Chains A and B, each alone.
Chain A
């Protein structure tokens, strides 16, 4: 009953260098994936921050009635893509312009009449900041007769969207490539460890052990090697993260689900690699 864990741990005890090296190889392979995850996660956060700046501004005629504006505000709020609608009065616009455009402060102070229009600033839900949605909502805002002009920085939104798509494709391709490289390294590490114990597999077959029984300690060993490697990779990634955070710039640590997924990936790769390697030796006798 206790054969599998006992045999697995005695294998670690008998060949500590080999098993440590396997775990270290797995750890370094997954460290690559960890570094990539750290970069990808922070790139995504940076793009999210940029994306939050996407907004539509509808400038209103001076003769627009309060009821009409309130009605438009309500209608826009009702749209699922809209997160927030903020009414900016002419006075508020002037204050804001004075604050944000200090070079024109003198000009703005001596004005007899406030030339700036009131406006509705429309912020969108995170998933709706695509060029198509922004354009559609802008068209919708233009339909109101008291709307003078609608601006949303079409070029900026288009560029941001392209950047996000490029980032997504690049991250996917690189992520898959890193995962494949990690899987190959883990496969090789586990195969070397099992090759060193091929005689045990042969002896087990000779004395009539069932294939499932032979496989079990090796799969368990693969899982533990993978978990140890995964934990090492997380540790190395964290050290790197602290280093960058302290000495270069502020970045965020990867989400805890990614950490768990990293260790789980180590375990799964370890088990699969062990399974293939043992099967090869099982076929030999």
Chain B
């Protein structure tokens, strides 16, 4: 699903954000990326989403290579990779259903199917009853559920989550984590960046990748067969 091959990411100023990182994530695996602030977690996520390209090395995601995918074709990758953020990034002034419908519409879902699919997605994240509520009327946990429903709109193979529980209380966090595991159980790989080690410890079956100052310093599955099907 994801393969990082000796990936280094340098910016114009300062130390490299990632230094010679290699790992691979098979299909349907649940993995945490942990590390302190500035350790390279978000850079890793952005590289997977090809919002950035590596300075050295190669990133492969679901058959797309950072070396060969042109900017014009990135949309094809992004329909296979859902993305949720700490700050939800929902469109204000729109209802929960409109936020999900928006993602369906802009990716070319036929008009007739948009409404029913949006309702099904909201039902999947347990928000059917709040479909008509505007974003500002929803709690943090509910907003994150809408964001997850939106990320699932294109039935992706991989879900990226960058500190998705960072703004949530413990109860809402548990709800979101349960949802991620349900999604994972349906066969979708989940790569979640978090600095919250307590949260990581609650899910011992998940793989843990730890970054420190841009280097991959720990991989709980090191030595195990993670070669699986990479694409």
Q: Which residues of A contact B (CB under 8 A)?
A: 1-3, 7, 14, 199-200, 202-211, 213-214, 285
Sample (16) of A-B pairs whose CB atoms are under 8 Å apart = A3-B105, A3-B111, A7-B105, A202-B89, A203-B103, A205-B78, A207-B79, A207-B106, A207-B107, A207-B151, A208-B80, A208-B154, A209-B75, A209-B106, A211-B75, A285-B51
Contact B108 A207 (CB under 8 A): no
Beyond the given A1-B111, A208-B75, could you list 13 further A-B residue pairs with CB under 8 A, ordered by the A residue number? A3-B106, A3-B111, A14-B93, A200-B91, A202-B89, A203-B102, A203-B103, A204-B106, A205-B78, A206-B49, A207-B79, A208-B77, A211-B75
* A32 vs B107: C-alpha distance when bound (angstroms): 42
| Nearest residue, chain A, Cβ from B49 | A206
Q: Is the CB–CB distance between B72 and A211 below 8 Å?
A: yes
Q: Which of A14, A207, A208, A213 contacts B76 (CB 8 A)?
A: A208
Interface residues in B, total, Cβ within 8 A: 24
> What is the bound-complex CA distance between A36 and B76, given in angstroms?
50
Looking at A1, A206, A211, the one whose CB has the most chain B CB atoms below 10 A away is: A206
**Could you tell me the distance between the alpha carbons of A1 and B112 in the complex, rounded to whole angstroms?**
11
- Which residues of A lie under 8 Å from residue B41 when comparing CB positions? none
| Contacting residues of chain B (66-94) with chain A, CB-CB under 8 angstroms | 72, 75-80, 83, 89, 91, 93
Task: State which residues 34-56 of B face A: CB under 8 Å.
Answer: 49, 51
Complex-state Cα separation, A204 to B75, whole angstroms:
10
Question: Who on chain A is nearest to B85 by CB?
Answer: A206
Could you tell me if B154 and A207 are in contact, using CB atoms closer than 8 angstroms? Answer: yes
Which residues of chain B come closer than 8 Å to A211, judged between CB atoms?
72, 75
What residues of B have a CB within 8 angstroms of the CB of A207 in the complex? 78-79, 103, 106-107, 150-151, 153-154
